Amino acid sequence: MSKIKTAFFCSNCGYESAKWLGKCPSCNQWNTFIEEVLDKGNKNEQHNWKNYTETKRQGKTIALSQVSSIEEERIVTADSELNRVLGSGIVPGSIVLVAGEPGIGKSTLFLQSALQLQDVVTLYISGEESEQQIKMRADRLGIVNENFYLLTETSTQVIFQEIKKLKPQLVVVDSVQTLQSNFIESSPGSISQIRECAAEFQRFAKETNTPVFLIGHITKDGNIAGPKILEHMVDTVLQFEGDRNYTYRILRTLKNRFGSTAELGIYEMLSSGMRPVSNPSEILITHKEDQLSGGAIAATMEGLRPLLIEVQALVTPSVYGTPQRTVSGFDLRRLQLLLAVLEKRGGFQFGLKDVFLNIAGGLKVEDPSSDLAIICALLSSYEDVPIPQHICFAGEVGLNGEIRAVNRIEQRIAEAEKLGFEKIVVSRYNQKNRDAVKHLNIEVLALGRVDEVYQLLF
């Protein structure tokens, strides 16, 4: 009998060592090494993909000038948001990792997207659910597809035998943490198993030119479960996120070898599946009859997409000795910085007030161009004077109270004009960019300091 091979893996980053180490040399964490049994088995048993497709892949040296620069034809899905995030479609031979919270809708989204591809032979591999459970979800989605096939299996050897029989054009794996390879003697979900199973699917995708979607889990810290090398092995990493209390879901790109990482897709979760939201600005702005203080509209950018969101602020006298600072969807430290600017440069006594800030719709805003709208919402609640509904804001606020220029101002102004706003307040240092939008029917107010905005509004 051959000797059993063992190795030690860091449970934090996946670093491999031949012996136990107290401190991981890769991530500098202590006592994270665990022993796992390795048994690569017979190399002749590895799957051979040479006769899978008619086109032969040549492994020879070639000059860069001889490589054709023709863009590869992509599989365009019926989901416009997924196409946007992937970079205008699914690239043949690509391997995509999708991660998100449990119950957020990962399986629903990709089952729906696969069912909508009527002309593509799709194999949906599930290691978590039975055929009946997937059938119930498909009936709820109300989509019929004769080219959609199911396989409930966790062994990669059985999966690849079925793939050779069916020869699908798209493979969806739900989820990679449930798979188990016979070449590794450890439990499913362990670091060595995840790495080996992902490597087998990567080899399959590249040698057969078949796109593969791997749905993955995340840890309680919000990181993708498994070794960090898993994110390096795949071509694209997508993060599916959202708040359970809201119906909106956001699909972000963390890594993309075939497109921009600045794109994001927005969905609305309905009983009939995921509905792509083509114009989220209309949904994120509350249409109310009465004018109330403490509300302002910010023209922000999420990736390459302009979004108009509603900022709500409430400023009340502090009952306790220490004033409260409560935020939802915004950085607390950034709010404290803006309050310090108002107190130092404007003379407003926010140190005696409780401040509550909310970004409507459950979104999390990181764009600094929302600073101006947040300051205007705070001042509106402080003075108890409502801001006119036909005005919005786009500008970063500096420590001296100046309004700094922001990028892509033309797209923000065009989005505001499309939604019916009559005025937009921007920085006077965006002069060059504003010349391109003179033809729009919206008045652009260029101001340089926060006190000028205060005089304009109040």
**How do beta strands 170-174 and 184-185 pair?**
unpaired
Name 330's Cβ contacts closer than 8 Å, sequence gap at least 6.
Answer: 357, 359, 364, 365, 370, 374
Q: Is 92 annotated among the ligand-binding residues?
A: no
Q: What distances in angstroms separate CA 399 from CA 30, 66, 448, one per listed residue?
A: 41, 54, 13
**What values do phi and psi take at 321, rounded to 5?**
-70, -40
137: Cα within 13 Å, side-chain hemisphere: 19
Question: How far is 363 from 250, CA to CA, in rounded Å?
Answer: 9
Residue given tokens 């000797």 in the structure block: 3
CA 65 – CA 332 distance, rounded (Å): 52
CA atoms within 13 A on the CB side of 330: 32
- Please tell me whether 103 is known to bind a ligand: yes
CA 22 – CA 32 distance, rounded (Å): 8
Q: Is 346 annotated as a binding residue?
A: no
Task: Please indicate if the annotation marks 442 as binding a ligand.
Answer: no
Q: Is 60 helix (H, G, I), strand (E, B) or coil?
A: coil
User: In this structure, how many other beta carbons lie within 10 angstroms of the beta carbon of residue 321?
Assistant: 5
**Distance between CA atoms of 42 and 38, rounded to whole angstroms?**
13
CA gap 296, 285 in Å, rounded: 10
CA nearest to 92, candidates 171, 159, 157: 171
Task: Name the strand (E) or helix (H) holding 67.
Answer: none
Nearest-5° angle of CA 452, CA 455, CA 458? 140
**Is 216 labelled a binding residue?**
no
Q: Are 117 and 78 in contact (CB under 8 A)?
A: yes
DSSP 126-171: ESSS-HHHHHHHHHHHT---TTEEEEE--BHHHHHHHHHHH--SEE
Q: Would the annotation count 130 as a binding residue?
A: no
329/385 Cα distance (integer angstroms): 24
What are the DSSP E strand ranges found in 202-350? Answer: 212-216, 236-242, 248-256, 264-270, 273-276, 295-302, 305-317, 325-328
271 labelled as ligand-binding? no
41 annotated among ligand-binding-site residues: no
Binding-site residues from annotation: 100-107
Binding-site residues from annotation for ATP: 100-107
